[in-house]
């Protein structure tokens, strides 16, 4: 043991005395680590509790299942025999080592906006990750989607390669925010509605989308369904801690906060907030039709019995513990999928160092029928200043079916 220590000390000494390149490389690896945080590589490529980047949990897409592969530098089962050029090509075009075409579940349509330097840094970092031998068969798709060559056509139709172009009329901070959101942060991968081919509908950028049984909400400046009521500080607080006065992250966003946004620098979080706050209200701000009064009465009774103990008689919630239902974007989405899921399956809140409580919404699927959930959600969506379309029992039934499959 003592001998080993001496050897290590000697190596450290040699490193310290080495050429300036060594220090540069160290800096690059540190910057690359930051890029891995911005890009949330771990969110998909690390299983909860698993070895870092050695392959993730199965992703359900509308086309079938994919498993995020092992991206450690293991030569046999990871990307140890890739070159930096392979990696750059993959990030830029979705075409990786030996010309293999990736599916856009890997968000190369966003990563293509990254700068050469950032991609190079990220590569430098990935080469330093501990290699793990773990064979992952990424492609679980059914025919014909399992033919990777089909992605050539997909790219032709849906993909445009190219780095982020700064807007010279905006501040450096705004441009930094735009770069993260559109590029490495790949926010649109979840929050932008998809075409029938699974491509981003750019005209509805960040207006909210359904994926993996959750509805990723509108994060434009829309005052009703988006973040129009959030201040810049609200946004920074949410991204840093997972919790603010309006909402508590759970589901896939909890993962994004835990692995990525909570580890970003305050400067980057502020830049993201500046950019998002500059986005106009996507979609329309039209008031939805007022729901049926009888359903509101029923919904209120169900709310008092089942929800008010935590969320309050007035929907005000309790700080970091029980989310407010007033002015909460999740409540106000056109699509009630996440709401239905929360009531049926429950959900545990994000864990960050700033918000360690991890309170849970209990499952009420066993207690409330579809029509009752539809009524109580309709009530919540149209009380205390909220206004969102009524929820039907069919909406609930669809989510219940998905959850029980």
Interface with another protein (CB under 8 A): 306, 309-310, 318-322, 346, 348, 351, 353-364, 366-367
* Nearer to another protein (CB atom), residue 213 or residue 346: 346
Gap between the Cα atoms of 348 and 334, Å rounded: 23
Which of 48, 77, 94, 180 minimizes the C-alpha distance to 136? 77
* Nearer to another protein (CB atom), residue 281 or residue 346: 346
Give me the sheet containing 139-140, strands edge to edge.
59-61, 64-66, 139-140
Q: Minimal distance in Å, beta carbon 295 to another protein?
A: 22
Contact 325, 380 (CB under 8 A): yes
Q: Minimal distance in Å, beta carbon 396 to another protein?
A: 16
Residue reference for tokens 């890009």: 39
Q: Minimal distance in Å, beta carbon 351 to another protein?
A: 6
Gap between the Cα atoms of 201 and 21, Å rounded: 44
What does the block give as tokens for 234?
A: 């609200």
b vs e for 392-403, b when ≥16 Cβ sit within 10 Å of the residue's Cβ? eeebbbebbebe
Q: Minimal distance in Å, beta carbon 366 to another protein?
A: 7
Q: Minimal distance in Å, beta carbon 306 to another protein?
A: 7
Gap between the Cα atoms of 391 and 263, Å rounded: 37
Which of 78, 3, 71 minimizes the C-alpha distance to 41? 71
Contact 22, 12 (CB under 8 A): no
Taken in order 174, 177, 183, 188, is the CA torsion positive or negative?
A: negative
Q: Minimal distance in Å, beta carbon 342 to another protein?
A: 11
For residue 257, how many other CB atoms are within 10 A of its CB? Answer: 27
Contact 355, 237 (CB under 8 A): no
* Nearer to another protein (CB atom), residue 11 or residue 321: 321
Q: Minimal distance in Å, beta carbon 277 to another protein?
A: 27
Q: Minimal distance in Å, beta carbon 346 to another protein?
A: 6
* Nearer to another protein (CB atom), residue 198 or residue 359: 359
* Nearer to another protein (CB atom), residue 90 or residue 320: 320
**Helix orientation angle between 116-126 and 20-38, rounded to the nearest 10 degrees:** 100
Q: Minimal distance in Å, beta carbon 163 to another protein?
A: 39
* Nearer to another protein (CB atom), residue 109 or residue 317: 317
* Nearer to another protein (CB atom), residue 296 or residue 355: 355
Q: Kindly report the backbone phi and psi dihedral angles of residue 81, in degrees, each rounded to the nearest multiple of 5, phi listed first.
A: -105, 15
Gap between the Cα atoms of 3 and 7, Å rounded: 6
Gap between the Cα atoms of 255 and 9, Å rounded: 38
* Nearer to another protein (CB atom), residue 322 or residue 379: 322
* Nearer to another protein (CB atom), residue 195 or residue 357: 357
* Nearer to another protein (CB atom), residue 88 or residue 351: 351
Q: Minimal distance in Å, beta carbon 216 to another protein?
A: 23
Q: Minimal distance in Å, beta carbon 239 to another protein?
A: 18
Gap between the Cα atoms of 188 and 201, Å rounded: 10
Q: What ranges make up the beta strands (E) of 251-312?
A: none
* Nearer to another protein (CB atom), residue 64 or residue 312: 312
* Cα–Cα distance list, 157 to 102, 114, 161, 223 (Å): 15, 21, 12, 33
């Amino acid at each position: 043991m003592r001998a080993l220590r001496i050897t290590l000390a000697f190596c450290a000494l040699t490193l310290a005395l080495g050429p300036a390149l060594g220090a540069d490389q160290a800096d690059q690896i540190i910057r690359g680590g930051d890029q891995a945080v911005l890009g949330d590589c771990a969110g998909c490529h690390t299983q909860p509790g698993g070895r870092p980047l050695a392959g993730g949990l199965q992703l359900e897409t509308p086309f079938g299942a994919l498993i995020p592969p092992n991206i450690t530098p293991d030569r046999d089962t990871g990307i140890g025999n890739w070159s930096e050029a392979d990696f750059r090509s993959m990030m830029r075009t979705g075409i990786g080592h030996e010309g293999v075409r990736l599916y856009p579940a890997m968000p190369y349509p966003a990563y293509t906006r990254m700068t050469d330097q950032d991609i190079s840094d990220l590569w430098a970092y990935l080469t330093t990750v501990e290699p793990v031998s773990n064979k992952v068969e990424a492609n679980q798709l059914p025919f014909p989607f399992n033919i990777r060559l089909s992605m050539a056509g997909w790219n032709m139709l849906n993909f445009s390669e190219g780095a982020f172009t700064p807007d010279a009329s905006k501040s450096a901070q705004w441009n930094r925010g735009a770069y993260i959101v559109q590029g490495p942060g790949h926010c649109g991968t979840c929050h932008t509605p998809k075409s029938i081919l699974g491509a981003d509908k750019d005209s509805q950028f960040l207006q909210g989308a359904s994926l993996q049984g959750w509805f990723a909400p509108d994060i434009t400046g829309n005052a009703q369904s988006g973040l129009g009521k959030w201040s810049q500080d609200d946004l920074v607080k949410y991204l840093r801690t997972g919790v603010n006065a309006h909402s508590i992250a759970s589901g896939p966003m909890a993962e994004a906060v835990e692995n990525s946004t909570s580890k970003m620098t305050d400067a980057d979080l502020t830049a993201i907030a500046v950019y998002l706050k500059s986005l106009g209200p996507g979609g329309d701000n039209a008031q939805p039709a007022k729901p049926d009064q009888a359903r509101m009465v029923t919904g209120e009774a169900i709310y008092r019995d089942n929800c008010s103990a935590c969320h309050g008689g007035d929907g005000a919630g309790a700080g970091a513990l029980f989310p407010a239902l007033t002015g909460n974007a999740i409540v106000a989405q056109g699509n009630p999928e996440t709401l239905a899921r929360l009531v049926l399956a429950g959900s545990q809140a994000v864990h960050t160092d700033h918000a360690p409580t991890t309170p849970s919404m209990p499952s009420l699927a066993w207690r409330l029928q579809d029509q009752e959930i539809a009524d109580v959600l309709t009530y919540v969506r149209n009380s205390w200043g909220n206004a969102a379309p009524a929820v039907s029992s069919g909406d609930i039934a669809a989510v219940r079916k998905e959850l029980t499959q």
